[in-house]
């Protein structure tokens, strides 16, 4: 993605929606746009329990891929 979109902060903060969708999966682009708009749900952590940030209301499981191939789901 860095080769197509540039630096990480440029991808996360600056690229227009159309530019994001040109080189990444729609769900990933949707997630970036949701975070930019502040449309996330946060739950604080406590007593050694990590907090959570939910970007999507309904969780969709990732395909069962080996760890080293997780990026195959993204259109490079």
13-51: per-residue pLDDT in tens? 999 999 999 999 999 999 999 999 999 999 999 999 999
Q: Are strands 41-43 and 52-54 parallel, antiparallel or unpaired?
A: antiparallel
| Overall average pLDDT of the 64-68 stretch | 58
What pLDDT does 43 receive?
92
Rounded CA separation 67/43 (Å)? 27
- pTM value is 0.68
């Amino acid at each position: 993605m860095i080769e197509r979109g540039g630096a990480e902060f440029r991808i996360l903060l600056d690229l227009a929606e159309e530019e994001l969708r040109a080189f990444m999966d729609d769900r990933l682009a949707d997630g970036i746009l949701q975070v930019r708009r502040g449309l996330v749900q946060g739950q604080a952590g406590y007593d050694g329990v990590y907090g959570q940030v939910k970007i999507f209301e309904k969780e969709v499981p990732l395909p069962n891929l080996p760890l080293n191939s997780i990026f195959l789901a993204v259109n490079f």
